[in-house]
Amino acid sequence: MTDLDPNSRTFKDSIAAVCDLLAQIDSQNLSPLPTHEVTDVTSATRSALEMPTDFPPLASAIVTGDHIAIALDTNLPAIDRVISALLTQLQANGAGEIDIVVSTETSSSDLAVLRSLVGELATVHLHQTEKRASFRYLGPDVHDEPVYLNRWLVDADLVLPVVTKRASDVSANGPHDLTGIYPTFTDANARRRHHQSRAKNDTWGDSDAAEQDPEAMSGTAEEPAWLLGVQIILSVTPNQHGRVAKIECGSIESARQAAIETSTADLCDFVTAVVEGGPSQQTWLNIARAAEAATRYTQSGGTIVVWSDITEEIASHGDTEFVADEPTADEQDSEDFTPWDEKAVPFDRIGSLSEDYQIIIRSQLSADSIERIGLGSIQTPDELKRLAMAFPKRGLLLAAQYHAH
């Protein structure tokens, strides 16, 4: 989360070696992400805010003294420069109190860095999923289940999502909320329901439910954000090396029109998915995203290697089967929302992929740790090349964590 490239030299060198070796055996670059890089992120952020698409300049949306809430995706490339430029612009436009809300995906170290970065310009809040006092009621979902949203977002005069623009495949994964509001900043119960429906390939916009209840949150994936009053989002497009390729600001519809579509390349038998970036990017959730993204380009039964530098041990939450049971009657009656082990979610997602693909992980962990959860382990680029040569059609997906939600 710093202005400097945080990759260790050893890992960066390993990525370069992987790219060179795979190129030697005619592996196809599958990434639809751009190759160019924005050199002045601060100026690009300021320009985007001053000239949004399908929306007046941000200054026109702010009344002096307005309470602003920023719903922040901490996977953002160059997050420090983007946020610094945004806060400067908000202050220049007369904003009052500014709250930044980050998801449970944010690590304690990244949270500390962000708080140090913004200083007294804003207050940074880590989203709490279980404490009812942290929420405001938003409305029913398509199944008439109540949905609560983070109170810092609901209580603000203006909510500005700051998100990573990811390659999207609506036909394969259903509609995604481009604002990043749902289910990221909902209560634990809604997050559990979303995970369960996701595993069943259900989507938010259940058309039958929408016809039965026009008052429910239905239709587009961004409807929760619409009910919240979100009109404008700031999005950062990563390039194939995990750096900033483009910064855009505009309406939700303009963001959907400018979505990055996945590649139409033929399916491969073997795909290497690289998780670019330093420690803040090297998480099990990003490994799950990278593996899921690779399945779009891999034949059923094929092999996917996720090339990461993860050091996070998995014994504490990865050696038992994921459980997302419905709350008991007693738990439903409790004041707070029912807790559940969200740390198990990436392993559940990876586990479901393992039913149709062989998943192999490059990491800083021992082979025994990886193999204990049913995954393969690999270490060196040369090992990867030898493995890849056993397959007739090979592919490479760079910055793969930015290809899935």
Would you state the pLDDT for residue 205?
42
Q: Tell me the average pLDDT across 143-155.
A: 90
C-alpha dihedral sign at 256, 260, 261, 267: negative
Residue 208: band (very low, low, confident or very high) from pLDDT cuts 50, 70, 90: very low
Summarised one tens digit per residue, pLDDT across range 271-300 is 999 999 999 999 999 999 999 999 999 999
Put simply, whether the predicted model's pTM sits higher than 0.85 gets the answer yes
Beta carbons within 8 Å of 94's beta carbon, 6+ residues apart = 59, 62, 63, 64, 65, 66
Averaged pLDDT, 235-257:
93
Q: How far apart are CA 270 and CA 294, in angstroms?
A: 9
Give the pLDDT band of residue 262 (cuts 50, 70, 90): confident
List the CATH code of the domain at 9-32+262-403: 3.90.226.30
Q: 214: which 2 tokens? A: 């026009």
- Going by CATH, does the domain composed of 41-257 fall within 3.30.300.30? no
What residues does each domain of the chain span? 9-32+262-403, 41-257
pLDDT tens for residues 104-118? 999 999 999 999 999
Each residue's pLDDT tens digit, 113-143: 999 999 999 999 999 999 999 999 988 877 7
The shares of helix, strand and coil residues in the chain, as percent rounded to the nearest 5, are: 35, 20, 45
